[in-house]
Chains A and B, each alone.
Chain A
Amino acid sequence: MRGKTILKKTVSTIITLLVVSFLVFLSFSVIPGDPAVSQLGTNATPERVEALREEMGLNRPFFLRFGEWLLSFAGGDMGISYSYKIPVKEMILDKLPITFTMTVMAFILVVIISVPVGIYAAKHQGGRTDRAVITINQVFMAVPPFFAGILITVLFGVVLKLFTPGGYVSYTKNFWGFVGYLFFPALAIALPKAAMTVKLLRSSLLEQAELDYTRTAYSRGNTTRDVLYRHVLQNAMIPVITFLGMALADIFTGSIIIEQVFNIPGLGRILLTSISNRDYPVVMAIIVCLAFAVIVINLLVDVIYRFADPRIRNED
């Protein structure tokens, strides 16, 4: 990418983050619920609540508060959690590795499951395996990740005893135990996405195999295998890359729910508790981080996309 493109992307990233944080901030001032009340409990007298609100600066005008938050956030200060009384930055840095590892594992699972299965199904189109794949796909696509998570817990945790349900292992204590525990939630997130990727890759391969250039490839003496891997696959991957990019963003944000099912103390967990506690320094920071991650993923997809499809490269 050229300098101009980089500048354009940076500006649009900043604008997106501004809009996202503003909307979250706004929704927090609109929805019912009061951080002061949630700290003091519902039995607190109105005077005490009012005093705390004053102390927390909640009574000042909306734009002033947003501006202040924005300035300190831009300066790297994410504030202090209302309910935990520790810096938000510390909390996020502590939890991010968990969610990040799970996202990466789930994504890797999606790729290593769907690419070989998609290729195999397309190669044996109409065969018994292909039909089985289509049916299984249909099922996996219909199952939401949290339900897949429950099924996996029952099957691998309760019946096969491959892991202890709810027995999360901290990455600081035992890294491989941690990875081993995260494998199952990652699988729960990965299965529906893998099913969709298989379906997309299979149809994309079959579509590409009908195109004229494959006939040209055969006319030069290529084997079926070489036509597939040297000609068709790269073309067929173009739509798949776009989809995988969206899936990656989706996996990252979707991990919030699966963390509940598997009792994982990741970003999703503190996001949910912070929302119900109206602990918005934490919520704001997490949401801006999520938004930033999604933008970065999209940028990466853009770069990879250009690499795969030369027709896009000359456009800017």
Chain B
Amino acid sequence: MEEKEIILKVQDLNIEFHDHLIPETVVYDFNLTLKAGEIVGLVGESGSGKSMSALAVAGLLRRHDMKKTGQILFDGVDLLNCDRKVLRKFQGKEIGMVFQEPMTSLNPVKKIGWQVEESLRIHTQLNKEERYRRVIEALENVELQDPERIVRQYPHELSGGMRQRVMIAAAMICKPRLLIADEPTTALDVTIQAQIVKLLKRLNREEGTAVLFISHDLSLVKRLCSRILVMKSGYVVESGETQQIFYHPGDAYTKKLIEAIPAYEKR
């Protein structure tokens, strides 16, 4: 693999909750380096801190009752400690985000077209016609049939898989350099899961967008990612190339996770 530019560097990220009497640390010394065009998987069980880390990178953690230390360098700008104004310049433009629940992640009272073009409206000077053209393009790009009709529809008129495609189209519309996908397939059924993974892989190849893929499903991550980080109760217990982790897992927890994959999927 040729040397590529590093776009994201997370250094010693610690996240501590203060919403109870006793402070609770949910992420310890999280480190991550992401190069342009790379797909990295973040694996772990519920509560392992993987979503928290991802939300921190996307700048979506609440500001109060929570202490965050470390650095999240995107393009050399520290997103963790910068002004919110600066952070917003990255959100939606350089960093797109897709969430777990396609059923609730879209605004129920707004048309799909309006929601997909939102990042363009915020970050660019494009006029209405140009934005419309980009929206249609983006919806076609996520393999949705009949995009002219979909832009006029509301979220409740679409299926879960279609909504997740809409979410991806909306996240990708500004052609961000990083797409964070937080369990994007967990709420979908298996055939749709495979389609979404294929779609993410294609978008990564064609657009050169780096993907941070968060999942508890190791077999899914194996199909998609070149590198993997395994998290358990706030700590990264293992990280490395996918092949290496699969065939020579160093950590006992990783071994257990791999053993948990049904045999026929391990090929």
Contact = CB atoms under 8 A, between A and B. Distances in A.
Interface of A: 211-213, 215-223, 226, 231, 234-235, 238, 308-311, 314
A interface majority secondary structure: helix
A223 B122 CA distance: 10
Contacts, number: 74
B110 A231 contact: yes
| Ranked 3 nearest A-B pairs via Cβ | A220-B92, A221-B92, A221-B91
B109 A223 contact: no
A310 B167 CA distance: 19
A135 to B, nearest CB: 23
Nearest to A126: B64
A215 B89 contact: no
Highest count of chain A CB atoms <10 Å: which of B90, B104, B123: B104
A235 B99 contact: no
Contacts of A308: 109
Contact of A220 (B104, B108, B170): B170
Contacts of B109: 234-235, 238, 308-311
Given A213-B107, A219-B171, A311-B154, 9 more contacts: A216-B99, A217-B118, A218-B91, A219-B60, A219-B97, A220-B91, A222-B92, A311-B156, A314-B157
Interface of B: 58-60, 88-93, 95-97, 99, 101, 104-110, 118-119, 122-123, 154, 156-157, 167, 170-171
Given A213-B105, A217-B107, A310 B154 contact: yes
Given A218-B60, A220-B118, A220-B170, A310 B93 contact: no
B86 to A, nearest CB: 11
21 contacts: A213-B107, A216-B97, A216-B99, A218-B59, A218-B60, A219-B91, A219-B95, A219-B97, A220-B122, A221-B91, A221-B93, A221-B122, A221-B123, A222-B88, A223-B88, A231-B110, A235-B109, A238-B109, A308-B109, A311-B108, A311-B154
A212 B119 contact: no
Nearest to A220: B92
Nearest to A219: B97
A216 B122 contact: no
Contact of B108 (A217, A223, A310): A310
Contacts of B101: 212
